[in-house]
Amino acid sequence: MSKRNDNESEAGTEKLDGKPIRLLIVDDETDFLNAIARRLKMRGFDVVTADNGQTAIEIARKQKFELALLDLKMPGMNGKQVLEILKSEHRFVEVVILTGHGSLESAVECTKLGAFGYLPKPYELDDLIEILKDAYTVRMKKKFEADEDRLKNILSLATGGSALGILRALKKLDTPEK
Amino acid sequence: MTNAGSNSGNTTDGGDGHYRNLLLTTLLRLLLIYFLPVVLLAAFFHIQHRHLIRDTRLAHLQSIAEHQAYTLDLFLRERIINLENVIDDPRLNVPPTNIELQRHLDNLRKTSDTFVDLGWFNAAGDLIAYAGPHPDLESRNYGLEAWFLALRGSAKQRIITDTYMGFREQPHFTIAVNRVIDDRYVVLRAVLSPERIEEYVATLQHPERISTALLSEDGMVQVISGKEIKVSTPSPLKPPRHPSIGSDITKRNGSDVFYAWTWLKTTSWVLLVEGEDPSAAAALISGGYATVIIIIGGILLIELLLIVHRARQVVRHKRKTDKQEADLSGQLVQAAKLATVGELAAGIAHEINNPLAIIAEETGLVRDLMDPSFGNALSDEELRNHLDIIHDATFRARDITRKLLGFVRQEKVILAQHDVCKILDGVLDGMLGRELELSNIRVVRDYSPHLPEITTDRHQLEQVFLNIVKNAIDAMENEGTLTVHTSSIHSRVIISISDTGVGMTREQVDKAFLPFFTTKEVGKGTGLGLSVSYGIIKGLRGQISVDSELGRGSMFTIELPLELVSSKPERSHGGKTS
């Protein structure tokens, strides 16, 4: 049953909007990390892995990601802490929580902290991809709206007429938002 | 709560010996309650009865003595009057002739055949006239005879002598009267045969059990019933001079001898009546005693059987209630275990879900790799690798379920020698190992290197440690240090488990061991863990206490004895009581 679904979904998920989705996966279970990374790569995701929270935050500072998959229970920094830092440092990153813990309380808590979704382990890959796609769509929409606001802002600056305003608008266009 | 816990400990090491002792003490108690009053009452009545029999017996002997003494007095007085009649006879010549005396003797013998002879003496004690069977006695001088001197020397007009042999060398006694006739002192004497007196002395009733004797003042036997007369034989019994009438009991050859006496009025002789112990005699005569004993014995036997039955019933009932109580406390411990499992559930689910996720991902990956649409060819080497990962994950999950079952399964209490440190390690590395690691808790094991092994139940102790460590993990949220310390003092092992968690307030510390008290959010804790731990430790004859400071952490201290002696668990002092 799931095989058919896999096959169906495979074609459409190789690429979204022409370019691969950049995804950061954080989990302390390395066997799990390797397997899921490989499978998502096969489905067109651009995957980077980290086996602890500290590494994940460092990687995120160097590379851009649209999405992140986070485990909650990890030695060292736990999932919630990583989630908070990621959300504060990268406004448009959407985070999906992937955990074996699976209690309602932690799900609610993570949502409050800004997680897009919450998926208990083990899961069907299709469900994960579905959530990732949704997360990506939301992320793009937010980004688009933010860009639009920015453009309007720039436009209003530019249409203000002064040379200084035009200069400022040009400068803002040059520095892309995180 | 705590009672239930300690009871379960009792019943496990109690065994049959405990119930046998209970049966014995119950039996003893019932016997005392039922038989003691009966025995006391019986003893009281027996003593009363004996006294009554003795008193009756003594009274009986007394009446015989009095009666016979009276008869003897009467007899002796009569004989003296007989003699006085002779001496005062105005027709009698002074001194009389032998023929005259003989005629008088013949007359006297008509009244009483105790008279043996008659003799007439002058003041010097010469026998002047004589009538009787010993004519050779005539012309003898009695001037130095004891009786003659006694009569001559006193103002008395009559004398009755003790039995003596005298000149005729036959036991006899003498009565004599004196007169002064025509200024001449004369004495008329009669010898009486003691054999005749014996007939007066002998009783009519039960002569075989009652003997009568006539004793002189100095205790010499004068006459004795049914026995050959032995003059001047000292009597083994010498009744006192006062009172003149009396009775008493004395011991002879180990048995009681009852006797009564009455002093005669006519002379200083005493009549002594002796009888055996009447109860011994009564025992001999009543052949019905056997049936009485059989009946009483039968009743006692039935009562004894009833008592044994009742004692058994009591013990059976106690055994039953003990078992019910033990079952109940067993159920309670089990419920608490399940509650603990409930609290552990989220952590356990995590530990099982993680390997399951690995398995799911690995199988998915292998399928992907075999799918031509992905264009990847799967090498055997790679496949084996993935299968190994799946295999490992499967067994990781199995280990967790196994640990869980090992904890939940209702185990019988098994007492054995255990190293407490190993049990602690089992908890710290086993069921809670991963959770401690994931919660960033540093575990410091400060074990004493020479900790003696203790006799205890591993599963129960595991449950206690599990509860305490789990609480510590929850108290420390996401990081901290758990310090486990063991030491031994005076044949006791001390285990302390301290955390650097949120700690407890004074009120919370006071309530820590109360059932259903929890500091956790609703739905997260049942509040049974520590109360059951308290019960378990009490049952294992140990002590548990907690010390805590808000914001600093808590420290639980458990004290356990090396040996689990089967005495009552000691009363808790200090620490928590609930």
Q: Distance (Å, rounded) from C-alpha B459 to C-alpha B422?
A: 12
CB–CB contact A35 B358 (8 Å): yes
Whether residue A170 is found in the same domain as residue A133: no
Task: Tell me the per-residue pLDDT of B513-543, one tens digit each, with 9 for 90 and over.
Answer: 877 777 776 556 667 778 888 888 888 888 9
A122 touching chain B per CB within 8 A = yes
Contacts of B352 in chain A (CB under 8 A): 100
Contacts of B533 (CB under 8 A, 6+ apart): B463, B464, B467, B468, B513, B544
* Angular region, B491: left φ>0, alpha ψ -120 to 50, beta rest: left
Strands (E), chain A: 22-26, 46-50, 67-70, 94-99, 117-120
- Structural domain boundaries, residue A107: 2-142
Whether residue A151 is found in the same domain as residue A135: no
pLDDT: is B515 or B360 the higher one? B360
Whether residue A84 is found in the same domain as residue A109: yes
Task: Tell me the per-residue pLDDT of B337-358, one tens digit each, with 9 for 90 and over.
Answer: 777 777 677 777 888 888 999 9
Whether residue A82 is found in the same domain as residue A110: yes
DSSP state of B534: H
Q: Distance (Å, rounded) from C-alpha B16 to C-alpha B86?
A: 100
Whether residue A33 is found in the same domain as residue A111: yes
Mean predicted lDDT score pLDDT of chain B: 81
Quote the pLDDT of residue A94: 93
Whether residue A118 is found in the same domain as residue A157: no
Quote the pLDDT of residue B11: 40
Whether residue A51 is found in the same domain as residue A114: yes
Q: A98 near A123, Cβ under 8 Å?
A: yes
Residues of chain A with pLDDT below 70 are: 1-18, 102, 158, 160-161, 175-178
Whether residue A98 is found in the same domain as residue A169: no
Task: Tell me the per-residue pLDDT of B432-459, one tens digit each, with 9 for 90 and over.
Answer: 888 888 888 999 999 998 889 998 888 8
B345 touching chain A per CB within 8 A = no
Position B244 pLDDT exceeds 90: no
Whether residue A156 is found in the same domain as residue A110: no
> How many CB atoms neighbour CB B126 within 10 A?
15
> How many CB atoms neighbour CB B233 within 10 A?
15
Q: Report which residue type is found at B511.
A: K
Quote the pLDDT of residue B230: 60
Whether residue A95 is found in the same domain as residue A166: no
What CATH number is associated with residue A112? 3.40.50.2300
Shortest CA distance from A80: residue in chain B: B478
Closest CA to B213 of B72, B60, B55, B78: B72
Closest Cα in chain A, distance from residue B449 (Å): 31
Q: What residues does each domain of chain B span?
A: 25-285, 287-410, 414-578
- Least confident residue range of A105-119, B233-247, B272-286, B438-452: B272-286
Beta bridge partners of B190: B118, B175
For residue B361, give the nearest of A10, A39, A75 by CB distance: A39
SS3 B258: strand
DSSP string, B58-79: HHHHHHHHHHHHHHHHHHHHHH
Quote the pLDDT of residue B388: 93
Most confident of A122-136, B161-175, B274-288, B456-470: A122-136
Beta bridge partners of B127: B121
Task: Tell me the per-residue pLDDT of B79-119, one tens digit each, with 9 for 90 and over.
Answer: 899 888 888 888 888 888 888 889 888 988 888 888 888 88
Quote the pLDDT of residue B525: 64
Whether residue A86 is found in the same domain as residue A131: yes
Q: Distance (Å, rounded) from C-alpha B159 to C-alpha B154?
A: 10
Query: Is pTM, for the whole model, over 0.80?
Result: no
Task: Tell me the per-residue pLDDT of B405-418, one tens digit each, with 9 for 90 and over.
Answer: 766 665 667 788 89
CATH class of this structure's domain B25-285: alpha beta
CB–CB contact B349 A102 (8 Å): yes
Quote the pLDDT of residue B232: 65
Whether residue A19 is found in the same domain as residue A73: yes
DSSP string, B194-231: HHHHHHHHS-SS-TTTEEEEEE-TTSBEEEETTS---T
A171 touching chain B per CB within 8 A = no
Contacts of B364 in chain A (CB under 8 A): 6, 35, 39, 125
Closest Cα in chain B, distance from residue A94 (Å): 22
Position B280 pLDDT exceeds 70: no
Domain B414-578, CATH number (from 3.40.710.10, 3.90.1150.10, 3.40.50.620, 3.30.565.10) = 3.30.565.10
DSSP string, B497-517: EE--S----HHHHHHTTSTT-
The pLDDT-based confidence of B8 (bands split at 50, 70, 90) is very low
Contacts of B300 (CB under 8 A, 6+ apart): none
pLDDT: is B167 or B258 the higher one? B258
The domain total for chain A is 2
A10 touching chain B per CB within 8 A = yes
